[in-house]
Amino acid sequence: MQFTSEQRLDDGVLEREFTLREIPGILWTPASASKPVPLILVSPPPLGLRKAYPRLLARARHAVADGYAAATIELPWSGDRPRSAAAEQALTDLHRALASGAVDNEIIDRLILPLVDKAVPEWRATLDALLALPEIDGPVGYSGGVISIGTRLAVVEPRISAAVLFAGSFVPRAILEEARQVTIPLHVLLQWDDEGNDRQLALDLFDAFGSKEKTLHANMGGHTGVPQYAGEEANRFFARHLK
Amino acid sequence: MQFTSEQRLDDGVLEREFTLREIPGILWTPASASKPVPLILVSPPPLGLRKAYPRLLARARHAVADGYAAATIELPWSGDRPRSAAAEQALTDLHRALASGAVDNEIIDRLILPLVDKAVPEWRATLDALLALPEIDGPVGYSGGVISIGTRLAVVEPRISAAVLFAGSFVPRAILEEARQVTIPLHVLLQWDDEGNDRQLALDLFDAFGSKEKTLHANMGGHTGVPQYAGEEANRFFARHLK
């Protein structure tokens, strides 16, 4: 992990860009902290870090104000990272299928499963590097992004203690099955009136999670209209589990 | 409205029992308040006030600690109130239908609609009496109980500004239709793993509510196992809308 830039934001947040292998990322920490802090992995939507930066920063500022470090990395094939011809083809096929009103599982699998297979080891390597820093220790929370990535990470990465997941992307059937193996506390946000989202699938996924403590918060406001109070409730979920 | 007893509880809560016409009720207010306080109507489950008292008192103590008055009344045909032969028959028929695994809408209608028809005017008369007391003014919240009663009240009673509803009882199709006319902010609690509850119907009801601001919080823990943090989120919902 190499830090490539560093700036102190006006509210006591230290923002450092880094690269890990070829993956760009951003780490936000309290500019002054007397002891190591817990960590929240803030997974981006599949827009590229640059486009997602304003809302990632807003979440990171909250996290740092609440006493955590926050970190994000670019998703595979997003932002300035090399493209995948197969992923682009799957996305083209998805858009064509959406336009015709018939999305089949094969396209979802082709789009999402390779992304999960590549992103999850990258997040784990990032976690290795972050936890080696003297200013960070556990526990670790995960907040994101592409819900299939969060689901797989919750299954395979024992250092993640609790996760806030956003229902709102396509989910392969295989991930629905993996969800049964999740046992950590989960806080799932669903935008009830998100027209681009398969609400029933989101409810099926919530039902499938094996966690004894799982909470679903459904709100109005469309895909990007998560109410402010819903974000605050998610922060309180982390406060209950990461402190 | 006649007060029939009065006691000061140890945490600064004044508890007064009353009767309004033949209906018994309980009012909880701050023992000392410098100005009139907003009100939360705490509607009981259909157990009778005596059996429900411990959990109603817990909710009332929270409400008073947060600066509200809280009040409840006995449901029709519950507790020491006169029984209804038709309601008892409907309940018997429901239990028989549940045992055989086939509950039809006709039984639900026969059980719930007369209860709603009788309870809602009683709550409105109680509200008249409570708002005439110098120590209480608006805004008014509703928290309860039998979700069909809360739904009808939210439609017909303009003095109710916000409601916390518990999904967990049978809902007639007619009430699902009425739900579309509800416009006040709603906070709906659903126990996801409540085996005696029709989860799909609860989700359909949540979907039907016409309110622009509505939130569904689904949690684990069975019918009566609402987590403490879920109660606290409901209190914050009232704080956003009644202050």
- pLDDT-based confidence at residue B89 (cuts at 50, 70, 90): very high
* Percentage, residues of chain B above pLDDT 90: 84
Mean pLDDT along residues B184-204: 93
Distance of alpha carbon B70 from alpha carbon B42, whole angstroms? 6
Residues of B in Cβ contact (< 8 Å) with A213? 220, 227
Are A229 and B236 in contact (CB < 8 Å)? yes
**Which pLDDT value is given to residue B37?**
96
Residue A109 binned pLDDT confidence (cut-offs 50, 70, 90): very high
pLDDT band at B114 (very low <50, low <70, confident <90, very high): very high
Closest CA to A147 of A191, A96, A83, A81: A191
More confident residue, B46 or A15: A15
Overall average pLDDT of the A148-174 stretch: 95
Residue B33 binned pLDDT confidence (cut-offs 50, 70, 90)? confident
How many helices (H) and strands (E) are present in chain B, helices listed first?
7, 9
Of A213, A227, A229, the CB nearest to B220: A213
Interface test mutation site (partner B, options A190, A204, A216, max chain B beta carbons within 10 A):
A216
In the 3-class helix/strand/coil scheme, how is chain A assigned residue by residue?
CEEEEEEECCCCEEEEEEEECCEEEEEEEECCCCCCEEEEEEECCCCCHHHHHHHHHHHHHHHHHCCCEEEEECCCCCCCCCCCHHHHHHHHHHHHHHHHCCCCHHHHHHHHHHHHHHHHHHHHHHHHHHHCCCCEEEEEEEEECCHHHHHHHHHHCCCEEEEEEEECCCCCHHHHHHHCCCCCCEEEEEECCCCCCCHHHHHHHHHHCCCCCEEEEEECCCCCCCCHHHHHHHHHHHHHHHC
Task: Using pLDDT thresholds of 50, 70 and 90, give the confidence band for residue B196.
Answer: confident
**Interchain proximity A206–B214, CB inside 8 Å:** no
**Residue A235 pLDDT class (50, 70, 90 cuts):** very high
pLDDT value at position B143? 95
Return d(Cα B188, Cα B219) in angstroms, integer. 11
The mean pLDDT value of chain A amounts to: 94
Phi, psi of A121 (to 5 degrees): -65, -30
Mean pLDDT of A174-200: 94
Question: How far, in Å, are A128, A135, B1, B122 from residue B23 at the CA level?
Answer: 65, 63, 9, 8
Other CB atoms within 10 A of residue A171 CB = 23
The dihedral sign for the CA sequence B115, B120, B121, B127: positive
CA atoms of A58 and A15, how far apart (whole Å): 12
Q: Chain A within 8 Å of B225 (Cβ-Cβ)? A: no
Greater model confidence, B101 or A80: A80
**DSSP alpha helix (H) spans, chain B:** 49-65, 85-100, 105-131, 147-156, 173-179, 199-208, 228-242
Of B28, B35, B32, B34, nearest to B5 (Cα)? B28
Checking DSSP bridges between strand A136-144 and strand A69-73, what pairing results, if any? Answer: unpaired
Question: What is the mean predicted confidence (pLDDT) over B125-135?
Answer: 97
* The predicted structure's pLDDT at residue A69: 97
Do residues B188 and B206 make contact, with C-beta atoms less than 8 angstroms apart?
A: yes
H or E stretch including B66? none
* Structural tokens at position A163: 């996760």
A160 or B169: whose pLDDT is higher?
A160
- DSSP state, residue B146: -
> pLDDT confidence of A144, banded at 50, 70, 90?
confident
How confident is the model at residue B47, as a pLDDT?
84
B206 touches chain A (CB under 8 A): yes
Tell me: pLDDT of B102 over 90: no
Task: State what percent of residues in chain A have pLDDT above 70.
Answer: 100
Hey, which residues does A228 pair with through a beta bridge? Answer: none
Q: Does B123 touch chain A (CB under 8 A)?
A: no
Confidence of residue A102 (pLDDT cuts 50, 70, 90): confident
pLDDT in tens, A14-23: 999 999 999 9
- Is residue B206 classed as helix, strand or coil in its secondary structure? helix
ipTM above 0.85, yes or no: yes
pLDDT confidence bin for B124, thresholds 50/70/90: very high
Cβ of A243 under 8 Å from any chain B Cβ?
Answer: no
The CATH number covering residue A214 comes to 3.40.50.1820
Length of chain A: 243
Q: What percent of chain A has pLDDT over 90?
A: 84
DSSP-derived 3-state class of residue B15: strand
Provide the pLDDT confidence category of residue A28 given band limits of 50, 70 and 90. very high
Q: How many domains does chain A have?
A: 1
Please indicate whether, in this complex, the C-beta atoms of A229 and B214 are within 8 angstroms of each other. Answer: no
* pLDDT score, position B73: 97
- Whether the predicted pLDDT of A34 surpasses 90: no
Give the pLDDT score at A47: 84
Which of A165, A192, A215 should we substitute to test contact with B (largest number of B Cβ atoms within 10 Å)?
A215
Q: What is the DSSP code (8-state) at residue B170?
A: -
Q: Is the pLDDT of residue B224 over 90?
A: no
Q: In the predicted model, is pLDDT for residue B223 greater than 90?
A: no
In-domain check, residue A39: yes
Does A30 reside within a domain?
yes
Nearest CB to B219 within list A215, A230, A233: A215
For residue A107, is it within any domain? no
For residue B144, what pLDDT is reported? 86
Query: Nearest CA to A123 among A90, A87, A159?
Result: A159
Instruction: Please tell me which residue of chain A has the smallest CA distance to B217.
Output: A217
DSSP H or E run through B132? none
A86 domain-assigned: no
CA atoms of A132 and B112, how far apart (whole Å):
61
What is the mean predicted confidence (pLDDT) over B93-106? 88
Q: Which residues of B touch A220 (CB under 8 A)?
A: 211-215
Residue A25 clears pLDDT 80, i.e. is over it:
yes
User: Quick one: tokens of A6?
Assistant: 């560093």
Residues of chain B positioned with their CB less than 8 A from the CB of A216:
192, 216-218
Residues in a beta bridge with B7: B15
Partners of B189 on chain A (C-beta within 8 Å) are none
Query: Could you tell me if residue A51 is inside a domain?
Result: yes
Write down the mean pLDDT value for chain B. Answer: 94
d(CA B28, CA B163): 19
pTM: 0.93
Among B195, B200, B205, B216, which would you mutate to test the A interface (most chain A Cβ atoms within 10 Å of its Cβ)? B216
Q: Which residue in this structure is represented by tokens 């006006």?
A: A10
pLDDT at A163 over 90: yes
Whether A207 shows a pLDDT value over 80: the answer reads: yes
Task: Tell me the C-alpha distance between B108 and B198, whole Å.
Answer: 12
Distance from C-alpha of A36 to C-alpha of A156, rounded to nearest angstrom: 25
Copy the structure tokens of residue B131. 């708002």
**Mean pLDDT, to the nearest integer, of A58-74?**
95
**Which residues form the domain of A204?**
2-81+116-242
